[in-house]
Amino acid sequence: MRIGWIGTGVMGASMAGHLLDAGYELSVHNRTRARADALVERGARWADTPAAAAEGADLVGLMVGVPADVAAVALGPDGVIGGLAAGSTLVDFTTSDPALAVELSEAGTSRGVGVLDAPVSGGDVGARAGTLSIMVGGEAAVFERARPVLEVVGGTIVHQGAAGSGQHTKLVNQILIAGTMVGLCEALLYARGAGLDPTTVLESVGGGAAASWSLANLAPRIVADDLGPGFLVDHFVKDLGLALDHAARMGLQLPSLALANDLYVSLAAEGGGRNGTQALIIELARRSGFSWP
């Protein structure tokens, strides 16, 4: 089985590497060619365009940056859809716009190409370990034929429904994280304001009803003044904007999501976009006239 792969950033390179390890014949394309060198050295074939990576492939995986990148790589001149044969499959692993996922699916279907939206969570650690959670939207038959490839790069692989459902599920994931992160940063500010030792506080609150992945993994980094990524603020801003946009289309007022979006957009505007999401504490401290640390 031949696979094309577009996008060899931190996540994409790990995922494509697992496909090579599993014995798939791989063509790779990336905007910056040098970032694909390591894969080419391990046996992947370089392709000059997305369409060239798709040519002769049974399945193409995308892992690029933002929805505009997905649209360009998939639908643009020299795009993947133009290079794929009928009966093949396009899997977009990028966290992107559910509406674009529907558009890609329709464009594929009209040419006999099956399309899945399949955003992931688990970060670079999950990508390296091959344990990503993959949230899949698209036709069930297409999902079944792509499943062996998905199982090479992911651990928890769930078909969520029709085209766009994978993206919507990923946005649900981000809404959950947003609420938890704002509460977490406010709680740490309160602890400091009350004169508590934050590490001692975490001993008391870490194991019960306040427990979360963010509390276990990001609170200690905040306390240690480590605000690096992890998950980039700039990427989170993209996701929260998509979620807000679609919530509005559904007639939903989601005030916590709106608050998180406002805070993260401000943080990015103040130059914090390349930090990890836990840097939110800087923005919350600033709004009260304090600095952190």
Catalytic residue numbers? Answer: 170
Out of 165, 261, 275, 278, point to the residue binding its own copies (CB under 8 A).
Answer: 165
Per CB under 8 A, 287 contacts its own copies: yes
Tell me whether residue 25 is exposed, middle or buried, using C-beta atoms within 10 angstroms of its C-beta: 0 to 12, 13 to 18, 19 or more: middle
* Residue 92 bridge partners (DSSP): 62, 117
Nearer to its own copies, 55 or 103 (CB): 103
Residues 2, 71, 253, CA angle at the centre, nearest 5°? Answer: 125
Q: Report, in Å, the least distance between residue 17 CB and its own copies.
A: 21
Nearest to 283, CA basis, from 242, 231, 222:
222
Applying CB under 8 A, the site for its own copies has a residue count of 76
- Each residue of 218-252: b (16+ CB within 10 Å) or e? bbeebbeeebebbbbbbbbbbbbebbbebbeeeee
Residue 48 interacting with its own copies (CB under 8 A): no
What CA–CA distance (Å, rounded) separates 81 from 54? 8
Contact between 199 and its own copies by CB under 8 A: the answer reads: no
Binding-site member from 57, 191, 237, 242 for its own copies (CB under 8 A): 191
- Per rule CB under 8 A, is residue 291 in the interface with its own copies? no
Taking CB under 8 A as the rule, does residue 254 contact its own copies? yes
- Give burial (CB, 10 Å; 0-12/13-18/19+) of 22: middle
Q: Using the rule CB under 8 A, is 266 a contact of its own copies?
A: no
By CB under 8 A, tell whether 242 contacts its own copies: no
Rule CB under 8 A: say whether 1 interacts with its own copies.
no
Q: Least separation, in Å, of the C-beta of 129 and its own copies? A: 12
Residues in region 82-141 near its own copies by CB under 8 A? 98, 121-123, 126, 133, 135
CA distance 101 to 109: 12
In the complex, minimum distance from the CB of residue 216 to its own copies, in angstroms, rounded to a whole number: 9
Residue 112 or 155 having the CB closest to its own copies: 155
- Specify the DSSP element, H or E, that contains 27: strand 25-29
